[in-house]
């Protein structure tokens, strides 16, 4: 089991999709049940990963490796290589969880072309998991592009009134970015051949050669920066960072609820994951280049403030949440380019948090939409009177999203801001304004939708949440409280990969080499961030 | 070995109560809801008493760690609790006054919808407030800090069907978040430079640093940023605007959160951080100036308010200003002393005001009251005690605490003292004005039942409808007993801090001594900007004997005179010659309008901040940038691509001759190019 667990997790959704192909499309209940069973199974088989991974969380390198380099298409050096570290582990768990939740939430929301819907959804699930598992760039690119198609179809077929515009915008935007990334990868591929005499797409091999471009007299800084920018464009569009974000509100507004959950919860994380997995280790010197880093930070901060301000003014609930994603993801990229352990681990944790909170926010909007078929804020008001359970759950998730302590958002934001502050206090000060604005746009939304008396007679008969709907929120609420109350395991899982990245980008950064003992930090006042010895494992193996 | 007191139970008990009422309260009877809420809050109070009893046997500060929380890199913050003299005082005030207000709420809220929700929120508030008080590090304190803000938001907006209540809750939360901006940055500074947020470690580092005078440094920056946070929570200039609006909440909430406990959190935080402030005279001076200005400013607004709760709200802001002033002149124990007595008499004032509102069927406008003292004698009597206490009538609690602050302020600068005394006069005036307007003279409201229903309040939000039929009546015993207990405390609460000049020994100051004196900087601040020469506390008693009791007694006499003058003036204007106030108001037309409209500060903020943000976001960012620039560029380039492709499409006509033509043209271009490059 150990050796093939990743493949099993990866292909269970696809197996479900294949099975669904043989079910008659009129048998709607069977389709629903099969899709839900496979989605749940996909989540359940990923659970054993948790204890297994926990045991080796401090060990260096990728875990659960499968396949070998060049094993797939030897002639071009493409291999079926899977493997995870703490970062991809958390993102995979988020994906399997959200995949199950969003398929469960589609039970009554989708009525037409049911079979295709679930088939594409499960295919999408495999595509996303593949992105987080692949350690071969060719394989990565296949998954990266493969998951574009189902998402395009989910928006284009089951979307709202402007679905075609939104779907094409989404598709072209992302495709445009990934084409440039492909070019950059080909450059790295040939550069690697140049250096080692071997053609390979193995990411671990490229890790060794790609950073040399910066210092290679034949290419040098300019080439390295151009390559970095090619990757940047692909990932920045996906995140999305300002000013590449305008596809997001359209895609979200038109996508069906479950599509929005996955889009915000997982798809956007591919951009931030790409930064962490590729941009930083491939081009460490570019990432530390003051100008490049300055731009990354500036765009992140603009994203935080701009996203929040535009969010404030939205009349459509879903658009409001979409713009709030721009703001939240700004925190994630800010943490990444703070380039220290606190910033990076906060960023990854915040990516998980965003998946949980914003995923829940889209579910929340979807619940009203399913009942009333409108997302206009002005159509609502006084909903607390008729849907108290729903109002309570919404309040909890809003608080989680705005970073109230004891809930998940606070831990992520605090850690990111703390890491950023160590680098430059001005960056942190700007970013904190986003925290203020988050309270403003969310509480104002809450007031307009839930408070007051019911003014619109159509809202008088709304029924509160069904048990199935409550079930979709339960895991998200549990996770929100868990991360808020006891984030330590998450930080431990992230410690090794994050330190390794920081060590790559900033060799000699205090505490990342794994030799500094935390207990010494009780000495004199120190700005150093010291980290527990990786082999010390104070918690002990279980 | 100090015993394990299970301190974590103190905050967690009310949390359990909140959870029970939150999850199943909807299905419980009112009796059951009340039992749960009171039992858990009472258990918490009992625990606090137990801690107080065991206190002398503890090694102070007493620290108990429950569980680790955040550990990222070397930085670490735990769920850990901390008791010293300062937190013990806060603990007893919060649980004690909290329990009384819980009991009072039974009567006040009995008729309300959402009964379980109210007690759930109230218990939740207790959880966060006690976390704030017992925290052993700034991050845990920040949890409580944000959490009480949340509870306050939920309780202000308790009558959420009322738009003004929902807006007030939101405003409170956002303004507090602006203050939290400062708090957060201060935390980051501490992490960056001290590597920890634990009180003992931070103070250890701070104590090892020298006093920062003209060259403001790290501690000054931290102090000023903490001050921003405190100004938000404790409603000081310029962030006080949320507190008057917060009166939209039920009156017990105003008493508990917006008078006795939560709003004093800022004062507590500054007192807790005294080690930092003592070494940052600039920050201290800012605290003192902000406090002084707020005290005076809010008192002047209080004069012209007609809503009984609004008067008390501005009074609270003003009194918090006194506490800030005390902290600002490094008289932390005086600030905490006033915090405690204020919790008694202001809590009582609000509860009594609630009793009045209850009696007259939801009316809050004092112009429609009058002559109530015969009808609700208990409320009148207790409220009179509280009024005398806040006005500084000798012998009552407020007299001692305020006198202590004024005396210490004078030692720092006569300017602080002067403003303080003027404020004391104003306080006495507006409070007796409130008393006369409410209780004296003839009843000015409409006695028949139909008109008493408040126009702006939802019918169900007022306890009145049924009672209005029976006319004005005294509140039930469950409400009067807390009033009586608080009245007792308002009288005797000050006796533990009688200063030496009045023949006392100021036991309160000595009790808090270990907290504030042990760490005071060894060297006095060398020189000073005006009013900054705060003497360290060690010298207090020396000063008393040297400058002489006579001086201090003379100053006491002046402040008593100011209080009596306020009383006299209020009596003159609102009892003897009730027509006079209007004539004065008319004569001072512009000034009166400015004061009555709270100096138009809300309008100013709306014009300066809210409006630009809202309109700018909408027109410049969203419509302008997002749709106008980015999307327009994209759509245009997409259109352009389509047009180009569209025209290129015509090349592929299927016409053989046109293909031949294109081939010839292409060949010609290639040849021309080769020739051109060849000739160079």
Q: How do B62-72 and A63-66 pair as beta strands?
A: unpaired
Averaged pLDDT, B486-508: 82
Nearest to A313 among B160, B184, B614 (CB): B614
Nearest to A411 among B70, B157, B174 (CB): B70
- Tokens 């996955």 belong to residue: A262
B289-319: pLDDT as tens digits = 999 999 999 999 988 888 999 999 999 999 9
A181-217: pLDDT as tens digits = 999 999 999 998 888 888 889 888 888 888 888 888 8
- Tokens 């918090």 belong to residue: B320
How many residues are listed for chain B in this entry?
A: 680
State the pTM of this model.
0.88
Distance, in Å, from the CA atom of A322 to the CA atom of A441, rounded to the nearest integer, reads: 12
- pLDDT for A538 equals 40
Please answer yes or no on whether B150 and A382 come within 8 Å at the CB atom: no
Averaged pLDDT, B350-372: 86
Distance, in Å, from the CA atom of B194 to the CA atom of B222, rounded to the nearest integer, reads: 12
Taking the CA atoms of chain A, what radius of gyration do you get in angstroms? 23
Please name the residue of chain A whose CA is at the shortest distance from the CA of residue B209.
Answer: A525
- pLDDT for B62 equals 84
A535 has pLDDT over 80: no
B564-606: pLDDT as tens digits = 888 888 888 887 777 777 788 777 777 878 777 888 888 888 8
For residue B445, report the phi and psi dihedrals to the nearest 5 degrees.
-75, 175
Which chain A positions have a beta carbon within 8 Å of B137's beta carbon? none
A416-474: pLDDT as tens digits = 999 999 898 899 999 999 988 999 999 999 999 998 888 888 888 888 999 989 998 99
A348 has pLDDT over 60: yes
| Closest-CA distance of chain A to residue B26, Å | 11
B521 has pLDDT over 70: no
B214 has pLDDT over 70: no
- Tokens 């004698």 belong to residue: B377
A266-323: pLDDT as tens digits = 999 999 999 999 999 999 988 888 899 999 999 999 999 999 999 988 899 999 999 9
Q: Which of B113 and B671 is assigned the larger pLDDT?
A: B671
Say which DSSP state B64 is in: E
Distance, in Å, from the CA atom of A238 to the CA atom of A351, rounded to the nearest integer, reads: 13
Ramachandran area for residue A374 (φ above 0: left; ψ -120 to 50: alpha; else beta)? beta
Q: Reduced to 3 states, what is the DSSP secondary structure of residue A174? A: helix
Averaged pLDDT, B263-274: 92
Q: What kind and span of H or E run contains A306?
A: helix A290-312
| Closest-CA distance of chain A to residue B192, Å | 5
Residue B615: C-alpha distances to residues A312, A326, A457, B126 (Å) = 10, 20, 31, 39
| Closest-CA distance of chain A to residue B247, Å | 17
- pLDDT for B680 equals 57
Q: pLDDT band at A515, cuts 50/70/90?
A: very low
Please answer yes or no on whether A531 and B74 come within 8 Å at the CB atom: yes
Q: Are B341 and B311 in contact (CB under 8 A)?
A: no
Judged by a CB distance cut-off of 8 A, whether residue B27 touches chain A is no
Concatenated DSSP letters of A327-392: HHHHHHHHHHHH-SHHHHHHHHHHHHHHHHHHHHHHHHHHHHHHHHS--BGGG---HHHH-HHHHH
Nearest to A432 among B160, B185, B625 (CB): B185
- pLDDT for A533 equals 35
Q: Which of A325, A253, A337 is nearest to A296 (CA)?
A: A337
Which of B73, B190, B198 to mutate: most A Cβ within 10 Å?
A: B73
What value does the mean pLDDT of chain B take?
84
A316-339: pLDDT as tens digits = 999 999 999 999 999 999 999 999
Most confident option among A64-78, A142-156, B629-643: A142-156
Neighbours of A60 (CB within 10 A): 14
Q: Which of A188, A184, A280 is nearest to A227 (CA)?
A: A184
Q: Which of residues 444-483 of B touch A (CB under 8 A)?
A: 458
Distance, in Å, from the CA atom of B238 to the CA atom of B175, rounded to the nearest integer, reads: 10
Nearest to B192 among A312, A488, A527 (CB): A527
| Closest-CA distance of chain A to residue B69, Å | 6
Neighbours of A363 (CB within 10 A): 26
Nearest to B71 among A309, A452, A488 (CB): A488
Which of A525, A529, A532 to mutate: most B Cβ within 10 Å?
A: A525
Which chain B positions have a beta carbon within 8 Å of A334's beta carbon? none
Averaged pLDDT, B531-548: 45
Q: Are A250 and A325 in contact (CB under 8 A)?
A: no
């Amino acid at each position: 089991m150990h050796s093939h667990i990743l493949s099993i997790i990866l292909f269970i959704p696809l197996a479900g999709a294949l099975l669904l192909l043989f079910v008659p499309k009129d048998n709607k209940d069977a389709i629903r049940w099969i899709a839900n069973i496979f989605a749940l199974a996909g989540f359940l088989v990923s659970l054993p990963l948790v204890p297994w991974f926990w045991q080796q969380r401090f060990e260096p390198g990728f875990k659960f490796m499968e396949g070998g380099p060049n094993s797939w298409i030897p002639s071009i050096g493409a291999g079926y290589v899977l493997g995870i570290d703490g970062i991809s582990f958390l993102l995979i768990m988020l994906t399997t969880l959200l995949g199950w939740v969003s398929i469960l939430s589609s039970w009554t929301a989708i009525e037409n072309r049911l079979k295709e819907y679930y088939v594409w959804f499960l295919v999408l699930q495999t595509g996303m998991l593949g992105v987080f598992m692949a350690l071969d760039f060719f394989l990565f690119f296949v998954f990266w592009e493969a998951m574009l198609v189902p998402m395009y179809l989910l928006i284009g077929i089951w979307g709202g009134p402007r679905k075609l515009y939104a779907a094409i915008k989404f598709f072209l935007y992302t495709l445009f970015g990934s084409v440039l990334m492909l070019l950059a990868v080909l450059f790295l591929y040939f550069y690697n051949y140049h250096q080692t005499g071997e053609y390979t797409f193995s990411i671990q091999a490229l890790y060794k050669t790609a950073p040399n471009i910066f210092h290679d007299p034949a290419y040098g800084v300019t080439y390295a920066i151009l390559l970095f920018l090619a990757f940047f464009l692909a990932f920045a569009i996906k995140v999305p960072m300002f000013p590449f974000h305008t596809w997001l509100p359209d895609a979200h507004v038109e996508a069906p609820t479950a599509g929005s959950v996955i889009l915000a919860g997982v798809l956007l994380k591919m951009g931030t994951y790409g930064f962490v997995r590729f941009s930083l280790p491939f081009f460490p010197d570019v990432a530390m280049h003051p100008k490049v880093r300055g731009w990354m930070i500036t765009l992140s901060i603009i994203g935080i403030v701009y996203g929040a301000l535009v969010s404030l003014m939205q009349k459509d609930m879903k658009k409001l949440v979409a713009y709030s994603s721009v703001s939240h993801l700004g925190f994630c990229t800010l943490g990444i380019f703070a380039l220290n352990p606190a910033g990076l681990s906060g960023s990854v944790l915040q990516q998980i948090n965003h998946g949980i909170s914003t995923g829940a926010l889209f579910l929340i909007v979807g619940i009203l939409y399913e009942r009333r078929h409108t997302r206009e804020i002005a159509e609502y008001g006084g909903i607390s009177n008729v849907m108290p359970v729903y109002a309570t759950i919404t309040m909890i998730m809003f608080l989680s999203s705005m970073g109230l302590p004891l809930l998940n958002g606070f831990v992520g934001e605090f850690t990111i801001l703390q890491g950023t502050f160590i680098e430059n206090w001005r960056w942190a000060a700007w970013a904190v304004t986003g925290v203020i604005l988050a309270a403003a746009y969310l509480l104002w939304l809450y007031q307009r939708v839930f408070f007051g008396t019911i003014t619109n007679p159509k809202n008088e008969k709304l029924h509160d949440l069904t048990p199935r709907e409550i079930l979709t929120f339960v895991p998200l609420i549990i996770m929100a409280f868990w991360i808020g109350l006891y984030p330590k395991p998450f930080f431990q899982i992230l410690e090794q990969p994050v330190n390794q990245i920081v060590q790559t980008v900033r060799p000699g950064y205090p505490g990342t080499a794994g030799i500094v003992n935390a207990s010494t930090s009780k000495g004199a006042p120190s700005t150093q961030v010291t980290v527990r010895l990786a082999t010390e494992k104070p918690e002990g193996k279980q | 070995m100090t015993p394990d007191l299970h301190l974590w139970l103190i905050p967690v008990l009310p949390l359990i109560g909140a959870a029970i009422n939150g999850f199943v309260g909807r299905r419980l009877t009112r009796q059951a809801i009340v039992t749960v809420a009171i039992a858990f809050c009472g258990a918490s109070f009992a625990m606090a008493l137990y801690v107080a009893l065991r206190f002398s046997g503890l090694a102070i500060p007493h620290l108990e760690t429950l569980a680790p929380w955040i550990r990222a890199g070397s930085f670490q913050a735990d769920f850990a609790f901390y008791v010293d003299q300062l937190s013990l005082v806060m603990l007893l005030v919060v649980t004690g006054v909290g329990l009384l207000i819980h009991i009072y709420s039974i009567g006040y809220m009995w008729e309300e919808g959402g009964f379980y929700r109210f007690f759930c929120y109230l218990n939740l508030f207790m959880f966060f407030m006690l976390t704030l008080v017992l925290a052993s590090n700034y991050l845990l304190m920040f949890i409580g800090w944000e959490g009480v803000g949340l509870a306050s938001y939920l309780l202000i907006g308790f009558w959420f069907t009322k738009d003004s209540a929902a807006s007030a809750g939101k405003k409170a939360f956002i303004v507090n978040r602006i203050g939290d901006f400062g708090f957060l940055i201060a935390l980051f500074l501490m992490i960056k430079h001290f590597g920890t947020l634990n009180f003992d470690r931070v103070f250890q580092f701070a104590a090892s640093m020298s006093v920062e005078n003209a060259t403001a440094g790290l501690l000054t920056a931290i102090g000023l940023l903490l001050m921003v946070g405190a100004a938000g929570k404790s409603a000081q200039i310029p962030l006080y605007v949320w507190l008057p609006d917060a009166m939209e909440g039920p009156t017990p909430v105003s008493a508990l959160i917006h008078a006795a406990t939560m709003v004093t959190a800022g004062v507590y935080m500054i007192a807790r951080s005294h080690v930092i402030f003592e070494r940052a005279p600039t920050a201290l001076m800012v605290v003192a100036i902000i406090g002084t200005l707020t005290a005076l400013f809010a008192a002047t607004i209080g004069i012209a308010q007609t809503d009984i709760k609004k008067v008390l709200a501005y009074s609270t802001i003003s009194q918090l200003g006194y506490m800030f002033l005390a902290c600002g002149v490094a008289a932390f124990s005086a600030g905490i002393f006033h915090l405690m007595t204020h919790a008694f008499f202001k809590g009582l004032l609000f509860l009594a005001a609630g009793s009045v509102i209850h009696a007259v069927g939801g009316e809050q406008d004092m112009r429609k009251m009058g002559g109530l003292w015969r009808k609700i004698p208990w409320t009148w009597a207790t409220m009179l005690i509280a009024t005398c206490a806040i006005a500084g009538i000798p012998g009552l609690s407020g007299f001692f605490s305020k006198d202590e602050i004024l005396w210490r302020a004078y030692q720092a600068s006569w300017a602080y003292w002067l403003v303080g005394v003027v404020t004391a006069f104003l306080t006495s005036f507006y409070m007796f004005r409130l008393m006369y307007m409410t209780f004296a003279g003839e009843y000015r409201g409409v006695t028949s039942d139909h008109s008493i229903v408040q126009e702006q309040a939802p019918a169900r939000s007022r306890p009145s409808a049924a009672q209005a039929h029976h006319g004005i009546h005294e509140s039930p015993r469950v409400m009067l007993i807390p009033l009586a207990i608080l009245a007792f405390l308002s009288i005797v609460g000050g006796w533990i801090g009688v200063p030496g000049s009045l023949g006392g020994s100021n036991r309160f100051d000595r009790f808090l001594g270990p907290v504030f004196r042990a760490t005071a900087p060894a060297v006095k601040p060398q020189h000073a900007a005006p009013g900054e020469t705060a003497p360290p506390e060690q010298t207090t008693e020396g000063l008393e004997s040297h400058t002489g009791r006579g001086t201090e007694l003379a100053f006491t006499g002046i402040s008593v005179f100011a209080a009596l003058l306020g009383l006299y003036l209020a009596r003159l204007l609102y009892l003897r010659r009730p027509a006079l106030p209007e004539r004065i108001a008319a004569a001072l037309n512009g000034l009166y309008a400015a004061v009555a409209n709270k100096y138009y500060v809300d309008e100013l903020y709306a014009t300066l901040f809210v409006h630009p943000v809202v309109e700018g976001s909408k027109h410049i960012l969203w419509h302008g940038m997002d749709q106008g620039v980015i999307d327009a560029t994209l759509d245009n380039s997409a259109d352009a691509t389509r047009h180009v492709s569209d025209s290129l499409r015509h090349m592929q006509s299927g016409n053989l001759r046109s293909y031949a033509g294109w081939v010839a043209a292409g060949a010609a271009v290639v040849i021309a190019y080769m020739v051109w490059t060849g000739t160079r």
